[in-house]
Amino acid sequence: MADSCHNYGHLVGDTVLKTIADTIKVTLWDYDTPGRFGGEEFIAILPGTSGEQALTIAERVRAAVSKLEIGLENSSEVFNVTVSLGVANLVLTDSKAESIIGRADKALLKAKQMGRNQVVLGD
């Protein structure tokens, strides 16, 4: 995603973020809660979902985003983007949201280190 801002400017970057957000919304279930977490990061709360189910959903999001063709305004040029996703489960010892978010963030970093366009389940 950062490459699109660098190569095409912030307006295209905003278009990419909006397109990804729309893709996430239509890929999740109605009772899931997606949101922008900051910068180029999104978060989704998937109530009643196991780690394996969350991986499946995250993979569905990853695949949907990778199929997007984003067009440039006033141009016939299109480009593709990919996403890396970190997944974490709520556990009984989580007393603060930061705990689960931290595990998801570590999984996201691992996904990026593995070559991007990956889904990784955190510890």
Pick the catalytic residue from 40, 69, 73, 98.
Answer: 40
Question: Does the annotation count 69 as an active-site position?
Answer: no
| Residue 24 · residue 42 · CB < 8 Å | yes
Angle at 42 between CA 117 and CA 54, to 5 degrees: 65
Separation CA 87–CA 61 (nearest Å):
12
Task: Just list the catalytic residues.
Answer: 40
